Chains A and B, each alone.
Chain A
Amino acid sequence: MKTKIYLTILMAFGLFSCSDLEEMNINPDKPSPELNKYDYSRSKVSTLLRAGSTYNGAHIFQRLKSLHIDLYSQMLDEVPSGWTNTRNYFSNDGWTIDYWNIIPSWISSLNIVINQGKDDPDRVNSVAVSKIWRVYIQSQACDVFGVMPFPSYKQIVENPPYVSVQDQYLEFFTELDEAIKMIDPAKGFLNGKEDMIYEGDITKWKKFANSLRLRLALRVSEVNPSLCATQAQAAIAIINGGTMESSGDDAKCPPSNKGWGQDYNYTLLFGWGETQHMTSSFEKLVTNIGGIDWPLSVSATTKPAKIDPRAVVMFDPSSSGIWKGVTPGLHPNNVNQSPNAKTEIAILGEFIVGKPAARNISRDYDLMLYEEVCFLKAEAALRGFATGNAKTEYEAGIHVSFTRWGVSGAEAYILSNDKNTAGTSANFDDISGTGNTQLEKIITQKYISLFPDVSIEAWSDKRRLNLPRFDVLAYRDPLIFGSLPSDITDPRSFIKRVKIPNAESTNNAVEYEKGVILMGTGGDRTSTNLWWDINKNYCTSAI
C-alpha cells in the first residue's frame, strides 16, 4: 500500500516522461521554415524587395547612404553632425557593420528561394526576379566594399569565400542573362501588393533586368571594354526585351510607412535636425549651365544669376536666403561654422522632403529611372560600345529629367552654350573650352538626374571616369590620404571604397586574409581601387 502511494507521488511529479520536454521546446510564436502549409518564398521575395530598396529603413539608410554614399558622391552633406568623420574619409565601423551583416543574409534568403523554386515551373518568375534582385543588392554592396564574401546558391559552402570584384561582375552578367531568358509572362508572379516595385508586372521586371545589365556593363568600360560592349549590346537588344522605354518603366519602391524608420528617410533625418545640404561641387555643376535665369518665384539673397532650373527645386535657399554649397570634407571644428553654417548653405528642397509641418514621407525611393538608361545608352553609343545615337539619348534624358523635377525650358537648355564652373555646357554639339567633352556632358547630366536617391551610381561614375568634376575635400584622413594627391583631375584624390568592418578580421580571419590578397596591393584601405576602377581620368576641367 505504502509503496503504491510513493509511486503515485512520483508519477504525479511527472518524472518518468521525457518526450513532452522536447515538445515544450518548440516556439509557439515563430513558425519553422519547414512548415509546408505555406509558400514562404513569396513572402521572402516580397520582404526583400522592400528591404533592399530602402536599405532596410532609417537605421542603415542613414549610416550607409547619408553618411557614406551621399558624401562620397558629393551630392549631400549632413549638418550639423560635426562628428561625421566619414565626411573626411575616415572609416566608421559602427556605421557600416549592420549593412555588412545584412547583405549576405538577404542573399542567403534569395538563394533559398532560387533553389526551392528551380524545378517548379509555376515559380519560374519568382526565381527569375530573385536572381535579378540578388544582382541588384549584391552589385550595390560590391560597389561599396569591393571584394566580399558571397553565398552562392549553386554550391552550398558553410562559410563562403571572398569573391573578387571581377568574378562578382561576371556572375552578375550570367545571372541577369539567365533571369531575362527565364521570365515567362504567361506564368504567374507575386500579386500587386507583394511586388511593391512593379505590382506584379513581370514584363517590366524584364526591362529592369536589361537596364541593370546596361548599368553594370558600363561599369566595366575601362577595365574590360569588350565585356562592356558585349553586355551593353545584349542589354539593349530588342530580342532580349530591351531596356526601359519611358518613365512608366521606372523602378521605384514606395516606403512602407509602417513603424519607425520606414518612411522616405530624408524626411526622418530632417526630423532629427540632421539637415541635408548642397555641396560646392554640386553648386559648381549646376551654376550657369543651360543659360536659364534664376527663377523669380524663388527668393534668395545670395544666388547665381543663371542656374539649371532643376537645381532650384532640388535645393532651397537657406533660412537666411543664401543659395550656396557647403565645402566638402570640412574639418570637424569648421562644420556648421560660418561660412558653412547651416543657415548659410542651400538645403535639400521641399519638393523632395516636403514642408516641416507636412513632410513628404511617402515619396518613392528611386532605384533606377528611365533617364539614367538614356544617359547609359548615350555613353555606350558615344564610346562605340553599342550602336545608337548619343545625342538623341542625351537630349531625351534631359527632357525626362526636366519633367520629373517639374521644370520647363529643356528645349532652350539643350541648345545653350553657357558653361558651368567646370566649363561644361548643355549643348551636346558645343565642345569648346576645357571641361566640355561630350562624355563630360553626359556624365554631368546623368549626375544631376541621379539626385538624390541613386547617388551610389554617381560615386561609381566618379571612380570609373573621374567625372563629373568634384572639389577635393578640405580635410582628409591624414593616415591614408596624407600622401595622396589633392588634384581634381587625379582620381587618386578621391575615396575609392569603404573599408570592411574590423569585426570581420577577427570573426572570419582566415577568409578575410585571403580576401585582402584579392584586393590587390592597396589592401583593405579606403584608397584601394576596385577592379573596374583603373584611375582613368576623363575630367578636363581647368579649375
Chain B
Amino acid sequence: MRKKFKQVLKITMLVMLFAFTNVLYAQRDITGVVKDAKDGVVLPGVNVMVKGTSVGSTTNVDGKYSVKVPSGSTILVFSFIGYNSKEITLIDAQDSYDVMLETSTQEIEELVVTALGVKREKKALGYSMEEIKGEGLTETRDPNVSNALTGKIAGLQVRQASSGPSGSSRITIRGNNSISSNNQPLLVVDGMPVSSSTSGTDDYWGNRNVDKGSGMADISPDDIESMSILKGPAASALYGSLAGNGVIMITTKSGKLKKGLGISFNTNTTFEKPMETPDFQNVYGQGINGAFDVTQTGSWGSAMDGSNVAALLGDKPYSSSGNNLYEDFLRTGVTSTNSLELTAGNDNSTLRIGISRMDNKGIVPNSKFEKTSFDVRTTGKWNKLSADVKINYIRQITENRIKLAGDPDNIFLNYLATPRSVAFSDYDKYKEFNYAKEKYGSPAVFEANTFNNPYWSAYRNTNKDNKDRMLGFFALQYDFTSWLNLKARYGLDYTSSMFQDRLATGTPYWTTNGITGDFRAIQEINKIQNADFLFTAQSKLFDKVKGIFTFGGNLMNSKSTYQLTQAQGLEIPDYYSVLNGVNREIAFNRTEEEIRSWYGTASLSYDNWAYLDVTARQDRSSTLDGDSYFYPSIGGSIIVSQLLENSGIKTGPISFAKIRASWAEVGNDTDPYRTREYLNIKYDDGVLNVTPENFKTNPNYKPESIKSSEFGVDFRMFQNRLGIDFTYYKKNAFNQIIKLPTPPATGFQYEYVNAGNVENKGIELSVNAIPIHKKNLDWNISLNFSKNKNKIIKLTDGVKDHLLSDLSVQFLQVVASEGGDYGDILGYTYDRNADGQIYVDANGIPLPSEKMSKLGNYQPKWMMGLYNNITIYGINLGFLVDLRYGGKVYMGSIRTGATSGTLAMTLDGRETGFVVPNSIVKSTGEENSKAVSSQDYWKGISGITEAWMYDATNICLREMSIGYAIPTAITQKVKLSSVKVSLVARNLFMIYSKTKGFNPEGTYSTNNAQGIEYGTMPQLRSIGFNINLTF
C-alpha cells in the first residue's frame, strides 16, 4: 500500500513537471508523411509518439502527421501494426520528416479476432488459435473457401466431397468428438453464428442424391479480411453449446481510412482437368469367359481385334477406339471470377462495396455453377455512438450437379464398368433417336438398368438449383467512458433455395403406376437470427494489473422449412410439372430452435507478462426443452521472455517465449423435436396412414459435454526469424447424444441416449522460419504438423459397437467401438490358416472370412502442411504441399473396375490364369495348384473387403502461385497504385499415393462415416492466372 502511494506520488509529480515544462518552453510542430518502405504507399493510422512522453498523434488518410513536440524531446517513435517500429532523431534545422516503415518479419503484438469478435493481443491468449489473412485466399482461390484451409492449419482436416467445384467439404478440428452428431466446427461471420450446413449423401446407393455444397462456400474470399480458427474448447468456450467442434470465425472487410475512392479489381481464370485418371486396359473388350457378349457389363471378352461385332447399335469394330471418358466425353472446366471493390472512408465513416462474380463451366458436359456476391458495409461515428451495418447478398445457380455413389446416373462409376469396346460415339448416336431406341423405351446402354447412358445422365436426367442468401447485421456501439462501452447487434442469415430434379421419361427403375419420368422441386428456407449485446470494460485495476471485463447475452433463433412437391410418373412424356404426375407427393416440415445465453469474461494481465482469462456461459436450448447448462473456461499465459526482460535478464537469441495452459467445458445440443414421441401421418385414398417413428425418444437429454485441457509454448528466435508454436491437447466428449441402434424387437430401430466418452489427444506444431530476409530476396517457410489420437473409452452399457456407416452396406462397416478408435473399418478378410496362408475353394479362388474384423481406421495418423514463399526482385513464388500419413480407405471404385475387368490391373492371367500364391485348398488342406483366370479371381474376391482396402497416405502439391507486383513507380504512371499478376494452380499433382489414379480421400458424403470411396469424381487440377489492379 505504501509502495503504491509512493508510485502514485511519483507519477503525479512527473505529470506536474511536464505541465510545468510545457508552459516554460515552447513546442515545435513537426510534420511529414509515412509510407510503406516497399511500395511507397502512404500509411494512414500510424502512431507517432514523442519518445518518453504521452504526446503523440496519428497519420491521416494521406499518411500525413503533425505532432507538437515539446522542447527537449528529440526522438519520434513511429509504430504501426505489421511494421517494425522506427525512431527518428529530430534535428533543429528540420521540421518535416518523411518516414518509410518496413514490414515486420514477425508480428508479436499481433491483434487477433477472438470469440464474440473481440480483438485481443495474441500473446495474451491462453489457448492456440490461428489466423489466415484474406489475401491468402483470393489468389489461388477455390470456389469453396473451406478448401483453401487444406494443409494450412495444424490440426484441421478438410475432406472435399468428390463432386466438383460446387461440392461441399467436411472440416474437422482436432479429430472427431461426436459419435452420432455433427463433428464440424461452428461458422461465425462477423461475430454471428451462421449456417454452415454441408450436404452430400449418406447413401452408398446414391438414390438421386446430389451434393448441394457447403454453407461456408457462399462467402466470397474477396470479402474476407481474416479467418480465425478457434481450435480448442477454451478458445471457443464463449459459444457454449455451439462450440463443441471448434469455431471458424470469418471477419469480413470494411472500408478503410483513405483519401478519395479506393478501387480494386481482381480477375481470376482457371482451367480444370482431372488431376489423375485410372489406368485402364485396352486389350480385352465386352464379354465373359473370354468371348464377346453384347449383353455383358464386364470386359472379360476376347482380345479386341477390330473385327466387326454386333454391338449396341448394330455392327461396329471390336476395338477400344473412342472409349476414353476423359477425352471423349468430359471437357476442360473453366472457372472465372471477377471482383470489384470500392472503398471510401474518412475519420467518421467508412464504406465498402464488394461485388464478385464467379462462373464455372464444369468438366461434365451441360453442367455449370455461377455465383454472384454483393457486399456493402458502412460504418459511422457520432461522438460516443458508432454504428456498423452490413448486407451481403449472394445468388448462386447450379446446373446438373453430379449424382453420387451408386446412382445409375453417376458417370464416373459407370465408366469403371463400361466395357472397353464401347465407344462414347455409340452412346452419342442415341441422341438422334431421342435416346429411346431401346426395346422398352429406356435409355440405351450396354446393360439396361444398372447404369444409364452417360449422355442421358448429362442431358436428360438433369437438376438445377438456385440459392439466394442474405447475410447481414447492424451493430451499435456506445462508449460511455473511455473504459466502458456497450455493443448491441442484430444479425440475419437468410437462405432460400429451390432444387429441381428431373428424371426423363424412359429412365428405368423409378416407375410409378408403370409410368416412368419424375420431377421434384424442393424448396428450403433457412433463417438464423442473432441478437446480442456486450458490455466491455477495460481499465487498470492496480499497479501493473490491467483488466478487461465483458458481460453479454445472445439469442439465437433458427427456423427452417422444407417443402417438397413431386410428380412421380409423367403422364405427358418429358413434361416437367408437378401436376403432370400420375402420383403426386408433398412434404412440408418446419423446424425451429433457439438458444438463449448469458456470458461474461474477465481477462487480467500483470506487468505485460502474466495473463489470466476466465469465461462463463449459460445456455438454454429449446432442443433440450429449455433446461439450462453452464460452460466455464479458464486459461492463462506467461510471457517468459518479458518476465526475464523485466528482471533485467538477457534472453540471448530468444526474442519471445511464452507458455500457456487452459481448460474448458463446452457442449453440443441436439436436433429439434427429439424429446417427444410422434407419428408420421399421410392421408391417402380415404385412409389416414400412420406409422410410428423408427426411433425411441428420450425426454431427459442433457447436452453433450466436451472437457478439454490444452498446454502450449510459443518461441521466437533470431529477431523473430524462427517461430515455433507447440500445443498439446486432450479433450473428452462425455454424455454424447448417441443414435444407438436398438434391437428391432423393441419396436424401434434406434434410440437416443446420453452416454459415452470419446477421447482425442494430440499435438500440434507450427514452425515459421525466414531463412533469408534481404532487400531483394525473401524466403518464408511455414510448416504445420499435427497428430491426433482418438480413443472410444466408453459407449453405453451393453453396446460396444456403434455403426457410423450406412446400414445397407453389408460388406463394410465404419464403426465407433468401445476400446477402438473413431472410424474403425470392419470387413471380411481373406480366410487364412494360422500360418497366414490364404484358403481357396476348389476352383482356386480365395475365400472370405466368415466373420468381419477390423481392417483399419479412416483417420490419418498425422498430417502435415508445408508452405514456402520466396520473393526475388518482386517475383513471388509460393507453393503448398500437404501430407496425410496413415489411415485406410475402402476403394469401391477399384473394386468396380477390377470386377468389371476394365482396369489394367486385371490384365494378368487373362489367357492362362494364375495360381494364387501361398494358398491352401480349404476342403483338402493341401497346397493349391489350381490356376484361376483373371475374371474368376477378381470377381471371386469382390466380396473380400480386405482386398479393396488401401493405405490412404498421400502427399499432394496442393497450391502454387508465381506472382509479380509491378513496381509502384511504373504503375503510378498509368494511375494505378498497384498491379499484381500471378500464375496460379491448385491440386497440381499427387506426389505420393497408393491409389494411383484415384483419390484416396474421395468421398460421397460429409457425414461421420468416411473412408469409403465409391465412384467419385477425380480431383480437379486447376491452372490459371490472377490479376489484381488497385486504382
Contact = CB atoms under 8 A, between A and B. Distances in A.
B687 A46 contact: yes
Nearest to B684: A258
Contacts of A25: 593, 622-623, 625-626, 672-673, 675-676
Given A10-B553, A30-B681, A104 B747 contact: yes
Nearest to A150: B745
A47 B689 contact: yes
Interface residues of B, number: 89
A21 B743 contact: no
B923 to A, nearest CB: 6
B5 interface: no
B773 interface: no
B240 to A, nearest CB: 14
Contacts of B939: 332-333
B511 A151 contact: no
A159 B568 contact: no
Contact of B533 (A13, A100, A104): A13
Contacts of B692: 33, 105, 108-109
B307 to A, nearest CB: 21
Interface string B933-967: 00110010001000000000000000000000000
B468 interface: no
A97 B923 CA distance: 31
A203 B532 CA distance: 68
B485 interface: no
Given A40-B679, A47-B689, A359-B514, A29 B589 contact: yes
B511 A271 contact: yes
Interface stretch (A308-316, A456-464, A507-515): A507-515
B883 to A, nearest CB: 35
Nearest to B741: A507
A43 interface: yes
Interface hub of B289, B295, B679, B847 (most chain A Cβ within 10 A): B679
B850 interface: yes
B992 interface: no
Contacts of A34: 677
Interface stretch (A221-229, A259-267, A385-393): A259-267
B674 to A, nearest CB: 8
A116 to B, nearest CB: 13
B647 interface: no
Contacts of A272: 449, 508-509, 511
A356 B691 CA distance: 34
Interface in A479-515: 479, 482, 501-504, 506-511
Contacts of B448: 273
B553 A15 contact: yes
Contact of B510 (A20, A260, A507): A260
A39 B690 CA distance: 11
Contact of B923 (A18, A268, A482, A507): A482
A47 to B, nearest CB: 5
Interface in B147-163: none
Contacts of B553: 10, 13, 15
Contact of A105 (B626, B744, B800, B801): B744
A26 B676 contact: yes
Nearest to A194: B687
B1005 to A, nearest CB: 18
Contact of B745 (A27, A194, A359, A511): A511
A107 B745 CA distance: 9
A28 interface: yes
Contacts of A478: 841-842, 847, 923
Contacts of B676: 25-27, 32
Contacts of A193: 685-687
B449 A32 contact: no
A506 B800 CA distance: 8
Contact of A27 (B621, B672, B741, B935): B672
Interface in A8-60: 9-10, 13-15, 18-22, 24-34, 40, 43-44, 46-47
A158 interface: yes
A93 B533 CA distance: 55
A31 B681 contact: yes
Interface string A71-96: 00000000010000100000011100
Contact of A100 (B509, B744, B798, B801): B744
Given A333-B289, A504-B743, A27 B688 contact: no
A358 interface: yes
B568 A260 contact: yes
A101 interface: yes
Given A21-B596, A502-B852, A260 B679 contact: no
B739 interface: no
Contacts of B748: 105
Nearest to B798: A510
Contacts of B745: 104, 148-151, 159-160, 508, 511
A487 B841 CA distance: 22
B596 A27 contact: no
A45 to B, nearest CB: 10
A211 interface: no
Nearest to B751: A158
A24 B488 contact: no
A18 B742 contact: no
Interface hub of A101, A359, A501, A506 (most chain B Cβ within 10 A): A506
Given A25-B623, A259-B585, A15 B598 contact: yes
Interface in B790-833: 798-801, 803, 807-810
Interface in B491-537: 508-514, 516, 531-533
A14 B747 contact: no
Contacts of B510: 260
Interface string B553-596: 10100000000000010000000000000010100111111101
B514 A506 contact: no
A40 B690 contact: yes
A49 B689 CA distance: 11
B749 interface: yes
A14 B596 contact: yes
Contacts of B744: 100-105, 149, 504
B514 A263 contact: yes
B113 to A, nearest CB: 24
A15 B596 contact: yes
A408 interface: no
A337 interface: yes
B620 A18 contact: yes
A107 B747 contact: yes
A151 B514 contact: no
Given A19-B626, A21-B594, A263-B514, A30 B678 contact: yes
B746 interface: yes
A43 B810 contact: no
Contacts of A263: 511-514
- Smallest CB-CB A-B distances: 6 pairs: A108-B747, A21-B626, A149-B745, A508-B743, A30-B678, A94-B810
26 contacts: A15-B555, A21-B626, A22-B622, A24-B593, A27-B591, A27-B678, A30-B678, A33-B678, A47-B687, A93-B810, A104-B747, A109-B691, A109-B747, A149-B743, A151-B747, A271-B509, A274-B449, A336-B295, A337-B288, A358-B514, A479-B850, A502-B852, A503-B741, A503-B803, A508-B743, A508-B745
Interface of B: 288-289, 295, 440, 442, 447-449, 488, 508-514, 516, 531-533, 553, 555, 568, 583, 585, 588-594, 596, 598, 620-623, 625-626, 628, 672-673, 675-681, 684-694, 741-749, 798-801, 803, 807-810, 841-842, 847, 850, 852, 923, 935-936, 939, 943
Given A32-B677, A105-B694, 5 more contacts: A13-B555, A100-B744, A105-B747, A149-B745, A341-B295
Interface of A: 9-10, 13-15, 18-22, 24-34, 40, 43-44, 46-47, 80, 85, 92-94, 97-98, 100-105, 107-109, 148-151, 158-160, 193-194, 256-260, 263, 267-268, 271-274, 332-333, 336-337, 341, 354, 356, 358-359, 361, 478-479, 482, 501-504, 506-511
